[in-house]
């Protein structure tokens, strides 16, 4: 997520609840609020440490989709270079 054209790709995600998968063991859920060259800003966000969670990632996301996000922060900045993927929470498939 380093190119200057990323913003046009992310326009459809703005103001929606997204899931950010990162290079490390953190998963971020929240409303995509702002972008710049270095950071992605989420509002009403949950920062979830997958290393200490007893719930598998897939089940955690399905629960978040069904019941809503358990926000632990009003706003969080995520370093763009740490992001591996972004998806809308509504696009999470239930199995």
In this prediction, residue 8 carries a pLDDT of 81
Percent with pLDDT over 70 in the chain: 93
In this prediction, residue 23 carries a pLDDT of 94
In this prediction, residue 34 carries a pLDDT of 95
Query: Tens of pLDDT along 47-88?
Result: 999 999 888 899 999 999 999 999 999 999 999 999 999 999
CA dihedral sign of residues 24, 10, 31, 70: negative
Tell me the C-alpha to C-alpha distance, in Å, between residue 12 and each of 4, 16, 71, 72: 16, 8, 22, 25
- Place 10 in a pLDDT band, splitting at 50, 70 and 90: confident
């Amino acid at each position: 997520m380093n190119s200057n054209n990323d913003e046009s790709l992310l326009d459809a995600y703005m103001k929606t609840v997204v899931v950010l998968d990162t290079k490390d063991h953190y998963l971020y859920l929240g409303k995509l609020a702002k972008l710049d060259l270095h950071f992605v800003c989420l509002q009403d966000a949950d920062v979830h440490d997958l290393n200490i969670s007893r719930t598998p990632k897939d089940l955690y996301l399905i629960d978040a989709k069904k019941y809503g996000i358990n926000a632990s922060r009003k706003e969080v900045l995520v370093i763009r270079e740490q992001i591996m993927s972004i998806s809308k929470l509504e696009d999470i498939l239930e199995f």
